[in-house]
Amino acid sequence: MLTTLFILLLTLAKPADANPNGTAFDNKARYECIIDNVSDNESASVKYSSMYQEIQNSTEKYVKPILIIIAVIVVLIMVRLRTKRDKPSNKEELANKLFLERWHSLQETEIFNSIIERCKYNKHLIGETIMYFQNPLTASEISIFKATIDSLFNDFTHKFSTQHPNLSDVELDYCYISILPLTEIQKAGLLSLSYQGIVSRRKRVTNKLKKSLFSQKLTDFMKKSLKNGLVQ
């Protein structure tokens, strides 16, 4: 626009003798042509300005929804990551809660109390290393004890024996008895074993479960297995 006005001023200021062959009509025609150019440029400027404004309005129209969509996506991703991060913690909390509830229920069962009371009444030792109960657990009582565990801990004994097929039946029974807060001497009495016999059984079991124990005590490992089985 400024360039066009500058050309117009130069033309109007040009001396008449600069073009000896020119006429007044020529000057008039040249003036009208310049005016037309100026008018065309002004029209184009207005047209382009209008187009730019439309583009800007259109951009503003879509930018806000796009920003909202991006913000929503970011929030959803953050929520998902937080949920994923907290999931193990929630799972562990649930397992702990369920375990405490089921363990309390186990302590209230007749077979549990029978075993604990039997141990209390047989504290005496025969010799230095041997302890025999007057009434060790019968096969039927062991079956009841295992069935009670299964009813409270999602069929635990069946799953445990499947996971550790290298353990014999008597070794599995030793593992299940180890769930209870008993000494090795008390376990020996319950299973009709001498102290040396229960020590040998413990060694065989811990050797077979060595990869699973990871330096844990058998009692802790069994309780942890009970707990984990509640949320799987």
| Sequential DSSP letters for 9-75 | HHHHHS-GGGSTT--HHHHHHHHHHHHHHHHHHHHHHHHHHHHHHHHHHHHHHHHHHHHHHHHHHHH
How much is the average pLDDT of 96-104? 93
Measured CA to CA, the distance from residue 164 to residue 167 in angstroms comes to 6
Average pLDDT rounded to a whole number, residues 198-203? 94
Q: Is the predicted pLDDT of residue 220 greater than 90, yes or no?
A: yes
Q: Which stretches does DSSP call E strand in the chain?
A: none
Q: Are 232 and 153 in contact (CB under 8 A)?
A: no
Q: What's residue 94's pLDDT?
A: 87
Residue 126 pairs in a beta bridge with: 130
The answer to whether the CB of 187 falls within 8 A of the CB of 214 is: no
**CB of 142 closer than 8 Å to CB of 170:** no
Q: 215-222 — which CB contacts under 8 Å span 24+ positions?
A: 218/175, 218/178, 219/178, 219/179, 219/181, 222/175, 222/176, 222/178, 222/179
- Residue ranges covered by each domain of the chain: 2-81, 109-228
Entry field: residues in the chain: 232
Region 136-164 average pLDDT: 95
Q: Which residues of 181-193 are buried (b: 16+ CB within 10 A; e: fewer)?
A: ebeebbbbbbbeb
Are 230 and 95 in contact by the 8 Å Cβ rule? The answer is: yes
Mean pLDDT to the nearest integer, 31-40: 53
Contact (CB, 8 A) for 125 and 195: no
Helix (H, G, I), strand (E, B) or coil at 133: coil
Mean pLDDT, range 92-113, rounded to an integer: 92
- Asked whether the predicted pLDDT for residue 12 surpasses 90, the reply is no
3 state SS of 135:
coil
Structure tokens at 176: 């299940």
> What pTM value is reported for the model?
0.59
pLDDT at 207 exceeding the cut of 90: yes
